[in-house]
């Protein structure tokens, strides 16, 4: 496909056509959608307003959007189907996986790698700003957290997790101090109260101000001596045969 300019060499009337295919205005003229005078006026107006001829004719009321689309279909030698002729979800496309559609460009959902990277970076920048604003509300508050242990990224701090923080997905709570003034030190698995001192785009930083009491292990009941067991039916003492 090549790019064709009209006789005035004006970008406003830029039309896409393969060699030998008529321009859009000529197709509309042959279809008696517009007259020669209307086409001439439309080209002049498109030149002044630097718009495409199809958009200009629609703005003038000389043609409808459907008229222009039908003319484009004739120009590109493809079938024209109105919205009423198309099902809401094409049956064949409905059965195909997104991976297949992207691989074979069956639907306009495949984009090049550079575009994917650009869009991802844009979305991440927006998300980062939102996350930073959301975490600011924690500064100065005391929150309940689960101690996970020493940080693998920095041996000088420990890591903890608030309720709702998914491991390896959400940010982290870094603990700069896990020892209380009393000398008690938080351990992995402890539930603690943390005073948030700093917030970042994704992470929180704070110090432990309280360690919740660790649940005590329940003692198992002592086994009952064999001499204390009796038969349910007779009440006679049981004898252990060795």
**Together in a domain, 81 and 153:** no
CA distance 56 to 66: 14
Q: What is the mean pLDDT of residues 22-29?
A: 89
Containing structural domain, residue 175: 138-211
**Together in a domain, 207 and 142:** yes
Q: Bigger pLDDT: 205 or 123?
A: 205
Last residue of a domain, one of 85, 117, 152: 85
Q: CATH number for the domain including 163? A: 2.40.50.140
Do the domain assignments include residue 60? yes
Q: What is the pLDDT of residue 178?
A: 92
Q: What is the pLDDT of residue 21?
A: 75
Do the domain assignments include residue 133? no
Do the domain assignments include residue 112? no
Do the domain assignments include residue 122? no
Do the domain assignments include residue 121? no
**Together in a domain, 10 and 80:** yes
Number of domains making up the chain: 2
Full-model pTM? 0.44
**Together in a domain, 14 and 79:** yes
Query: What's the pLDDT tens digit per position in 86-98?
Result: 555 555 555 666 6
Query: What's the pLDDT tens digit per position in 124-140?
Result: 888 888 889 989 999 99
């Amino acid at each position: 496909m090549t790019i064709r300019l009209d006789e005035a060499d004006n970008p406003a009337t830029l039309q896409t056509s393969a060699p030998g295919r008529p321009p859009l205005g000529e197709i509309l003229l042959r279809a008696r959608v517009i007259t020669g005078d209307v086409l001439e006026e439309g080209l002049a107006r498109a030149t002044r307003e630097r718009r495409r001829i199809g958009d200009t004719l629609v703005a003038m009321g000389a043609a409808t959007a459907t008229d222009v689309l039908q003319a484009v279909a004739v120009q590109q030698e493809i079938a024209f189907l109105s919205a009423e002729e198309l099902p809401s979800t094409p049956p064949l496309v409905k059965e195909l996986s997104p991976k297949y559609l992207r691989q074979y460009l069956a639907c306009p959902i495949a984009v090049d790698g550079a575009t994917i990277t650009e869009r991802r970076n844009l979305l991440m920048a927006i998300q980062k700003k939102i996350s930073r604003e959301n975490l600011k509300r924690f500064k100065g508050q005391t929150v309940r957290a689960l101690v996970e242990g020493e940080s693998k990224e920095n041996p000088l701090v420990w890591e903890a997790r608030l309720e709702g923080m998914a491991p390896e997905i959400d940010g982290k709570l870094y603990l700069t101090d896990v020892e209380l003034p009393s000398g008690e030190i938080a351990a992995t698995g402890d539930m603690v109260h943390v005073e948030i001192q700093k917030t970042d785009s994704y992470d929180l930083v704070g110090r432990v101000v309280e360690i919740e009491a660790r649940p005590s292990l329940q003692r198992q009941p002592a086994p009952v001596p064999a001499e204390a067991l009796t038969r349910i039916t007779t009440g006679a003492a049981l004898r252990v045969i060795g």
